[in-house]
Amino acid sequence: MNGRPISGASVGVRTRGRRGLPALILGVLLLTATACGGGGGSGTAGSGTAGSGDGGESGKTGTKQSQAVVAIAPKDGAKAVETSGALKVSAAKGKLTEVTVKDPKGREIPGTISGSGATWTPSTHLAAATTYKVHAVAKDPAGLTSAEESSFTTLTPKNTFVGNYTPENGSTVGVGMPFSIRFTRGITHPEAVEKAITFETEPAVEVRGHWFGNDRLDFRPEEYWKAGTKVTVNLNLDGVEGRPGVYGKQARTVTFTIGRSQVSTVDAKAHKMVVRRDGKVIKTLPITTGKPGYDTWNGQMVISERLVVTRMNGDTVGYGGEYDIKDVPHAQRLTDSGTFIHGNYWGGGAFGNYNSSHGCVGLRDVRGGYDKSVPAAWFFNHSMIGDVVVVKNSHDRTVAPDNGLNGWNMPWDEWIK
């Protein structure tokens, strides 16, 4: 060497008095520049070597994919999907850990993941003409997860049905009031329809349904409701296939409250009625019931309609020409077949003495119903829809459970069959 410094590295070497080191130090500097500069050769290879524990094999990213495979039926974008039986989520090579199915309003469809985690199925039907979004997650044996999303739209039915129900939403009713719903089409899939109607009560009590024919479904507890009970009925009928090709289009919540307990007992033989409020006698009233050949039904009957004044014509119940009274006061219906407990201004001395009606229970009244002190007015003003009137000691048979809201005449074990 000629003794002239050729680089900063040579100067550094000379000051340390060592020979043969400039090339080594220069090489180190060049390696350092290459590692930090990020230019020149393949950055991907360098990144893979530094970031993975795979021995520096080029092209490895260090991210492993889950082996779990999620499948959703129906397929993404499907149209006119059946509201029952079509939706199912499954996982292969792993277990489902999360499945959510939501409608456009964000309401979730409840469902259950099987014990093995292989499948998820909804616990209820879907609404008609609705788009649903599905999100599902599964985990493989190594603990890695995979997810799948899908959406589909259910069918728009050509034929539909609804249920007309009583009592009215928001009403207060007596302890004998069932929840009765009559459908606009005959139902041939009763289990599906009944499953779509659920009850919440406070205090809690078991409520069960019973079908009368194929178009009427009544619900009640085993005993009369407890006074003060709050009842919420969820009618989730939208999308229920009630009969082949005929779907419900009703989705609403109905609430009602049970008022005070009033049960009145009519003794057809003694010609009197004892009114009990919350178990205590509050009034005893003279009455008249059906005369021989027109005897009043025996049994438990529920007030289903209240009319300040109404017309009663024998033609409507098969007694043509026997009577037509245009101004019957204080009338309260007990059966669909025409039995009422009502005011009677034409009965003379029958009240408390003998039976003279065509099957109704009569209470003394005045024409026009203006006198609030007479028995018929008092009873009318102290009654409500859902109150119970029990008739005993009449010569007729017990009223049929479906003749009015009178399912209390059916034993519980038969009711729940």
Which string of b and e fits 264-300 if b means at least 16 CB within 10 Å?
bbbbbeebebbbbbeeeeeeebbbbbbeeebbbbbbb
Q: Which residues, 6 or more positions from 112, have their beta carbon under 8 angstroms from its beta carbon?
A: 120, 121, 123
Q: Which of 135, 360, 382, 395 is catalytic?
A: 360
Decide if 360 is catalytic. yes
Instruction: Give strand pairing partners of 220.
Output: 208
Nearest CA-CA partner of 237 in 225, 228, 247? 247
Half-sphere exposure of 351 (CA within 13 A, CB side): 21
If you compute the radius of gyration of the chain from its CA atoms, what whole number of angstroms results? 40
Q: Which residues, 6 or more positions from 71, have their beta carbon under 8 angstroms from its beta carbon?
A: 89, 90, 91, 92, 148
Decide if 135 is catalytic. no
Question: CA-CA distance, 355 to 352, in Å (whole number)?
Answer: 9
CA 113 to chain centre: 21
Helix, strand or coil, per DSSP, at residue 49: helix
Q: Which of 189, 342, 358, 395 is catalytic?
A: 342
Question: CA-CA distance, 363 to 360, in Å (whole number)?
Answer: 10
Question: CA-CA distance, 169 to 256, in Å (whole number)?
Answer: 6
Question: CA-CA distance, 221 to 204, in Å (whole number)?
Answer: 10
DSSP-derived letter for residue 238 is: T
Query: Could you give the C-alpha distances from 411 to 220, 298, 415, 416, in angstroms and in order?
Result: 12, 15, 6, 9
Question: CA-CA distance, 388 to 288, in Å (whole number)?
Answer: 18
Half-sphere exposure of 280 (CA within 13 A, CB side): 3
Question: CA-CA distance, 362 to 293, in Å (whole number)?
Answer: 17
Catalytic residues: 342, 360
